[in-house]
Structure formats: C-alpha cells, structure tokens
Amino acid sequence: MESILQIRHLTHTYSIGTPFERDAVRDVSFEVGRGEFLGIIGHTGSGKSTLIQHLNGLLRPTEGQVLLSGRDIWAEPKKIRDVRFRVGLVFQYPEYQLFEETVYKDIAFGPVNQGRQGAELDRCVRDAARLVGLREDQLDKSPFELSGGQKRRAALAGVLAMEPDVLILDEPTAGLDPVGRETLMENIRAYHREQGKTILLVSHSMDEIARNVDRILVMKSARILMDGTPPEVFSRSEELLSAGLDIPHAARIAIALRRRGLDIPPDVYTVDALEREILRLRKETVPC
Amino acid sequence: MSVMIEAENVRFTYPGAASPALDGVSVAIERGAFTVVLGHNGSGKSTFAKMCNAVLLPDEGSVSVEGMDTRNEELLLAIRQRVGMVFQNPDNQIVANVVEEDVAFAPENLGVPPDEIRRRVDASLHAVGMDEFVTHAPHLLSGGQKQRIAIAGVLAMRPDCIVLDEATAMLDPMGRREVLSTVRRLNREQGITVLLITHHMNEAEDADRVLVMDDGRIVMDGTPKEVFSRVEQLRDTGLTVPETVELLDRLCQDGMPMPLDALSVDECADAIANALARKG
C-alpha cells in the first residue's frame, strides 16, 4: 500500500527549559497507507493528541519529520496552510467551534478559504452535509438551533467540505448517547467506503475501535506500544490490561470464559465472534 | 433512611422550547445511596441534575434538598454547599492557574481556616489520585486530569451529595475507572450521596439504583439487574444494554436459555460455562 503519511523519529517536548519539561511524544515512527482506516488508542497523557496535532502542522516536531505524500510538511513553513487543507483535523467537541449564522455558511467556511466558489462550493457543502446525515432543511438553520448530536455533525461536515485526503477524528463520539454514537460511526464508515479517503480515529472506546478500523496503534508513555490489526492487538488483551489500557468488553468475557476452561480462541474480541464460538462449543458438547 | 433530594411532579420547559424538558418527575433520592440516571441525549437527565442544586428551578412542582426548597433564594448557598455538581467539560470548571489554588477556591469562599483548607486540598487531590500535580498548571494537564481536579474542587467543599453530570464522558477508560472508584469510595466510606448521570451503561452495573429517563419522565426505576434485564424496553428508549446482557440475550434467541441478569463479566462467564456444562 502506498504511504500517504510517514512519521519519522518524531519527538515533541513541552515546556523546554522549565521544570515541567517533558516529552509528550518520543521517537515515534510509523506510516499510514492511502485509504487506510487507522485507530489510535492509549490512555490520557499517552501522547496521542500531541501526535495527531503534528500531522496537519498544528505542532512542529522538536525532532523528526512528518511527510505527507513523501514531502516534509515543514519544508516550506509558509505553505503549511495547504497541509491543513489536505489533512483535516476534527477536534474533540468540535461543536464548540461553530460560529456562523447558518449551518450552510458554517460548513462553507473552510472551502471558501480554500478559494472555492459558485457551483463547486455549493457542491462540496451539500456533499459534506449529506455524508454526515444532515437534512437540506437544516442547512438554513442557525447551528445553535440544532441538537447536540446535529451540531457535532455540522462541525464534522465543515472539515469534510474541504475534501481532505486524510481525516483525523479525535474522539468523534464522546458525549453522544449510544444511538448517536452508532449513527455517527455509520456515517464515518460510509464516508470511508464511498470516498476511499484515509481516516485516523482516536478513541477511548475499545469497542468502537474494534468494530471499525483496519489497524491499531497503541500509544503508551509517549511511544508506540503495539502496531497491528485488531485481531493481532486484541489477542494481546492481557498485555493491554497490564499496560493500564482497556480492551473490548467481549474480549473481557472471552478471558473469563477461558479461565473457566472453555476453548475460546485468543483473537475473539467482538460480541458476534463470541456468540459464534459459544454456539460452536454448544454443538460440540451435544452428545452423539 | 432519610431523603437527600426529593422531586415532586417537576415540570420544566426551556425558554422558547416546544416541548417540556421535564414532564412530571417525582422521585426521592435517599441519603447515602449511589443512584445512576441513564437516558439518551435530550431525555431530560441533565435538566434533572441541574434541578438538584438549584441551577435550574421547576416551572411547576418542587425540588427540595434535605427539606430545603430550591425556590427559596435565602437557602441557595446552603443548598449548593450540600450538593456539589461536577459537569461534563472540565475546561469550564477550572478557575485558577495552579492546581492546589483551584481546589482551594470553594473552601476559601466558604471562609474555611487556612490549615483546614490545606488539609482538604491535600485529601481531595489524594482522593482523585492527583497528589503529585499539586503545583502544576491546570491548562497543561490532559482532559481527564483536569476533570479529576474539578472533582477534587467539589470534594473540598465537603458536600453531603455529589451530582456528576456526565462527568466521565471525556475521560479515558482508566480515568473513568479512577473517578468511579473514587466516588464509590466516597459513597461507601463517607456516606456521600452520589447521583451519577451517564450514557455509559457499564457505569450503572454496581449502583444501588438505576433511573432511566425518556421524554422528560422517569420510565424505569430499579436495581441494575432489574433494569438491564428489560432489554427490549431499554432499546426502545434509545439505550443499549451492557455487552454481557447483549451476549446473553443473543444466546437466548439462538435457543440457549440464559439468565439476563448476569451483569458482571464473571457472572456472565459463569452462566455460559454452566449452560455448556449442563448441555454436556
């Protein structure tokens, strides 16, 4: 797979020269393939937020490089704005950043700054609204008339409207209720399917990560602890737990069943797979 | 057991809203209880939380805290000292530039003597596992750490009751566990009444009581086992069930009879192991 992002020996040190000096990210290297859906997990303070803010040039590495399509994003610091158009970062609680009179204008803010206008502008605004599941009649409303979940969608649409090559989502479903979480993730999955764009998803919800991504990076104490597919990472559940991380609930149940002597394979980490395995065991125990 | 907070037929509509946020809520929260309120966004649970320390006042009906009516303005300070609130976004709750000063803010305003403030600040930061950050700047902390500081700030008031309005929503799993075990310990050891508002079903597993809200009303009220085994009704109110119950419910539908009240991972694993052993 062709790499869209290459992170090479990235280190970021906060408060250099003060008693609070510390490395938030230390010598981290990885690549992200074009079209990949990558999950990033790690507990609070592990460095994941600092890491993602380097990927669109909001933070500058203390050491190391970030390459976008093979080019160091800081090669020409004056052109860093172009990097921000190509790598869209949706912060936590993005609805706090809504400010325009109408939802339409708010979504259009990014693309207008990119220099889009007329029919082209209208198309990317409406496409973005459709991708996040906002209705046409909601576009003329004030963003502040929307419900919490709809505001979140409007803010997400504002980034999608710039049609970035890479979309980075920091805890996109935090604070939403279970139905809101699932419908928003369905929109994000559909966007990934339809557009084939690269997505980086930062989430604390292991269940959300388990259900959605192709590959997982596990961060711990400013470094990468694991890098692999969900079955690879979650088969190391015991290791994740001892590193103070969470694992999907189904993986917890699987561990408890194994402790009771049941033969559940190590790579079972979803309720679906667990259900299949239990039914298989049930069949096998039926007396002939 | 005496009543900490009592709501009687509370109705409330936000200005300009078409439908009421609370539509006849009557409930008594007992002193010393650990109560979890569940509900989807817009179900009225946060509005209810804000009624508990007079941030909002009922349009109709009444709310009283230890017998004090929240509509009586003269009792406002006493009520807010008894019932501390922790909100969702820690950034909106931090006022000082140094962690210990932030935690000291409430006791300073309550006129607590300096020695006692020192003791309370240290004990509160210890209770939320933030001892080593006493002299740090809050803005350099992560979201989860900030929220623990906010909780310490409430603890320093020595309230009888803490209301956590989705206070764990922005925390990572470890931070969430720490906060939950902290409030549970405060509940158990110091008898502080806890009202926890959340979407996270798993946080309700070992509560004394679970209230489910929908459309501004309390639609379910019982122990976690009672509430979570009503899978269909929960789904109808836009909630999910814990993965343990989800798995047991699916196995039932696959023709493998299972108890739906095996909530914890160990109970669930025991139930499955037993069912498979019986079959064999």
CB-nearest to A271 from B41, B137, B246 is B246
pLDDT at B255 over 80: yes
pLDDT at A158 over 70: yes
The pair phi, psi for residue B24, each rounded to 5°, is 90, 65
Domain annotation for chain A: domains and CATH numbers: 3-230 (3.40.50.300), 248-288 (no CATH)
What pLDDT band is residue B230 in, cutting at 50, 70 and 90? very high
pLDDT of A286 reads 64
Number of H helices, E strands in chain A: 11, 10
What pLDDT band is residue B1 in, cutting at 50, 70 and 90? low
B6, β-bridge pairs: B28, B64
pLDDT at B173 over 80: no
C-beta atoms of B276 and A282 within 8 A: yes
Mean pLDDT of A60-85: 95
pLDDT of B182 reads 81
The alpha carbon of residue B162 is apart from the nearest alpha carbon of chain A, in Å, by 20
- pLDDT, chain B, mean: 91
CB-nearest to B174 from A92, A244, A282 is A244
A223, β-bridge pairs: A220
Q: What is the pTM of this model?
A: 0.83
C-beta atoms of A178 and B238 within 8 A: yes
Nearest Cα to Cα of residue B34 among B168, B187, B225? B187
Angstrom distance (rounded) from CA A221 to CA A14: 14
Domain annotation for chain B: domains and CATH numbers: 3-241 (3.40.50.300), 242-280 (no CATH)
The pair phi, psi for residue A27, each rounded to 5°, is 45, 60
| Nearest-by-CA chain B residue for A170 | B170
Mutate to test the interface with B, among A177, A181, A257, A258 (most CBs of B within 10 A): A177
- pLDDT, chain A, mean: 92
Q: Are B59 and B25 in contact (CB under 8 A)?
A: no
Mutate to test the interface with A, among B172, B181, B200, B278 (most CBs of A within 10 A): B172
**A274 vs B contacts (CB less than 8 Å):** 247
pLDDT of A287 reads 59
The alpha carbon of residue A112 is apart from the nearest alpha carbon of chain B, in Å, by 31
pLDDT of A271 reads 94
The alpha carbon of residue B94 is apart from the nearest alpha carbon of chain A, in Å, by 17
Q: Which stretches does DSSP call E strand in chain B?
A: 3-12, 22-30, 34-38, 60-65, 68-69, 83-86, 161-165, 193-198, 209-214, 217-222
Give per-residue pLDDT as tens, B76-125.
999 998 999 998 887 788 889 999 999 999 999 889 999 999 999 999 99
Report the percent of chain B where pLDDT is more than 70.
Answer: 99
**A209 vs B contacts (CB less than 8 Å):** none
What pLDDT band is residue A180 in, cutting at 50, 70 and 90? confident
| Nearest-by-CA chain A residue for B167 | A175
Q: What is the DSSP letter of A65?
A: E
Report the percent of chain A where pLDDT is more than 90.
Answer: 77
pLDDT of A192 reads 94
Mean pLDDT of A102-130: 95
Mutate to test the interface with B, among A278, A286, A288 (most CBs of B within 10 A): A278
C-beta atoms of B171 and A44 within 8 A: yes
Name the H helices within B128-164: 143-155
- The distance in angstroms from the start CA to the end CA of chain A is 49
C-beta atoms of A178 and B202 within 8 A: no
pLDDT of A206 reads 87
Angstrom distance (rounded) from CA A90 to CA B149: 26
Using alpha carbons only, how large is chain B's radius of gyration in Å? 20
C-beta atoms of A204 and B172 within 8 A: yes
B8, β-bridge pairs: B62
What pLDDT band is residue A3 in, cutting at 50, 70 and 90? very high
Give per-residue pLDDT as tens, A228-261.
999 999 999 989 988 878 899 999 999 999 999 9
The alpha carbon of residue B274 is apart from the nearest alpha carbon of chain A, in Å, by 10
What pLDDT band is residue B129 in, cutting at 50, 70 and 90? confident
CB-nearest to A177 from B40, B143, B202 is B40
The tokens 């509900």 sit on which residue? B39
What pLDDT band is residue B279 in, cutting at 50, 70 and 90? low
